[in-house]
Amino acid sequence: MNLKFFIPAVMVFSAVTLFGQTPVYLDNSADIEDRIDDVMKRLTTEEKVAMLHAQSKFSSPGVKRLGIPDIWMTDGPHGIRPEVLWDEWDQAGWTNDSCVAFPALSCLAATWNEEMSYLYGVSIGEEARYRNKTVLLGPGVNIYRTPLNGRNFEYMGEDPYLASKMVVPYVKGVQSNGVAACVKHFALNNNEINRHTSNVIVDDRTLYEIYLPAFKAAVEDGGTWTIMGAYNLYKNQHACHNEYLLNDILKGEWEFDGVVVSDWGGTHNTDQAIKNGLDMEFGSWTDGLSANVKNVYDSYYLANPYLERIRSGEVGTEELDDKVRRILRLAFRTVMRQDRPFGNMLSEAHYQAAREIGNEGIVLLKNENNILPIVPGENCSILVVGENAIKMMTVGGGSSSLKVQREISPLEGLENAFGGKAEIIYSRGYVGDVSGEYNGVRTGQNLKENRSPEELLAEAVENAQKADYVIFIGGLNKSYHQDCENSDRAGLGLPYGQDQVISALAEANENLIVVNISGNAVAMPWIDKVPAVVQAWYLGSEAGNSIADVLSGVANPSGKLPFTFPVALEDCPAHSAGEYPGTKRNDGIWDIEYKEGIFVGYRWYEKENIKPLFAFGHGLSYTEFSYGKASADSKSMTGDGSITVSLDITNTGKTTGKEVVQLYISDMKFSLPRPEKELKDFRKIELEPGETSTVTFTIEKEDLSYFDPEKHDWVAEPGKFKALIGSASDDIRAEISFALE
């Protein structure tokens, strides 16, 4: 055990006198707000200002004189980032800062399972706590607006209700460890290209119905202790100090009592940072040499420039005191919490959690003739093709890049699952990104290849002609212009000539299974030629084992898509109706107008009658589920009442499986445009073969409402509605009509 991790924790639990004063955190019986009042009386103005900004890349100072510990941040949201040098992004060179990598949040959303979200939060929170981190910089809940967004793999899909339901358990799980979740990026951060200079233009109705609900749920239902601002602008103000987003909505309407943290480099103006809701500033770019200051962090916008304004009388201390109170509240909830758990790291329980979440998140997109699961016969041979079968995926992608203790590759997982039962052969098939380094973390893999694309393809085809099964494992990776922070994809298609390889393999062997590893939708021009397609996401440390569990039938797939797969990019609303990446102004800012409004994701495809490649909520199983007739306890409801809708679900197959039963609401008469239907609830149930379960949904006025921008309130209009229940947004199995009186 490295006691370096626990020095601050020991201080928290000690009853010693520090620097001649009794530490302020020792009064265990006092209410937090009373304790904050006490501390505020003791702090100097200089100490208060110092608490508002970083002292290193990932920490801000406490107050040693009073025994208030430093605040330490760490990147998530899929694992605990390795330590970096005090003032640099370079690795600190620790040998004990490896972690367990959990599946990307796109995979977590695909589980449609709130229990998996809580397990995820508890597990990653334990790892953050063991490393003595105060704040975990995650989860992300920005809405999937375009499949080109390089950071979609860090988010929870296109639907605000699904993201809202999945973020709350994650936050609660993390914070059960005395570590703050930091929900990001607030708000409207829906593309990585021009992310520092994009000014989003969106109407209030779209803002409230699509882009805010997950953040609101994290605040009001999850009780998140911190929120991170976004890089982009909204109403021509940067989101990290945005009056409307932070003061009016977050701290005003939602009564958020936590800390607003800037994204690293997201602060741009001292006066706006003072007045418009920012509490803690990190990663600002300063020139300490030309400024001739001893400490470059004193040049931050909320550092000496703020202090000088206070001393000159240009600004008062009302905003300062509010910011400091919030930071102290964060400290009392975390580093100064006396019963704070100790956490644990790299435990087998965490690896098992990663595997279980991965198993539930993998989506079976297509399975003609029940080619899956693979049941090897005598003398069976399985050919595995593709760079993603061997390439480590935990390194790269931006700030979520990790240094893992271990990562099971898909090829290793398949060898573990089928070793002794079948001969496993590997062919590279194509060459993608052979690099294996990000921010000083190296995979140690040598993926260099001297053979030509033609030679690689010829070898794969020759081996495919001899094999009983061919498993192609490709997709995207976390390289620049793929699934990667600070860049967007160049297009919807697969890179590195993979379409040609897949088509050739389909000609060579009819038992072809395509496993797509990505955090985004991809085009599949070969879809009619391939009998089985699996969406496998970035699955972290246990990636190979999870993929093998599903392909071998050890796990019955139960994931459902958290976003729509379009056939072509022009089908996507951001590219056909809205703007992307926007229009550049003379001042260098890009105006990007969300002209599609509320019609994001499946809402758009249904409105325009565009058939997607795979619909939102789609996902197959190795068993079958039948839906009975829906019934309701009433045919009408009042504004303060509710209706209960029930139906029976039966497993009619031969395998135990899980089904996600999805409830959508359709408004039959409306004053403002509304989608054909909207997700309003779901249940994930597990059934044995032949077992029947009754699923019940309660529909309330809130589920029927839309946001009226003129009234600035949610409105449910009297009239007729339909409850639509199904297995996907395009697979409705039962419906029932009712009225709102």
Could you give the residue numbers annotated as active site? Answer: 263
H or E element at residue 417: helix 410-418
Count CB-CB contacts under 10 A for residue 119. 25
Q: Which of 334, 340, 338, 344 is nearest to 70 (CA)?
A: 334
The residue type found at 205 is: R
**Would you say 505 and 465 are in contact if contact means Cβ atoms under 8 Å apart?**
no
Tokens of 155: 């988010």
φ/ψ of 350, rounded to 5, equals -70, -40
Phi, psi of 158 (to 5 degrees): -95, -10
The Cα 581–Cα 194 span in angstroms is 8
In whole angstroms, give the CA distance from residue 89 to residue 95. Answer: 17
> Two tokens at 655?
């395998």
Are the C-beta atoms of residues 404 and 79 closer than 8 Å to each other?
yes
- β-sheet with 657-667: strand ranges across: 636-637, 731-740, 719-728, 657-667, 678-687
- Rounded CA-CA distance 72/63 in Å is 14
**CA nearest neighbour of 680 among 710, 722, 718:** 722
Distance CA 280, CA 638 (A): 45
CA-atom Rg of the chain in angstroms: 26
Cα separation, 210 vs 231, whole angstroms: 19
ω into 612 cis (within 30 of 0): no
Q: How far apart are CA 198 and CA 196, in angstroms?
A: 6
Say which DSSP state 53 is in: B
Q: What is the 3-state secondary structure (H, E, C) of 66-131?
A: HCECCEEEEECCCCCCCCECCCCCCECCCCCCCECCCCCHHHHHHHCCHHHHHHHHHHHHHHHHHC
**What value, to the nearest 5°, has the Cα angle with vertex 623 and ends 617 and 624?**
70
Q: Return the C-alpha torsion angle 197, 200, 201, 202, nearest 10.
A: 180
> 47, 8, 127: which is closest to 404 by C-alpha?
127
* Secondary structure class of 180 (helix, strand, coil): strand
N-terminal to C-terminal alpha carbon distance within the chain: 64
On the 0-12 / 13-18 / 19+ scale of CB atoms within 10 A, 78 is buried
**Which tokens is 404 given?**
């893992």
Say which amino acid occupies 196. H
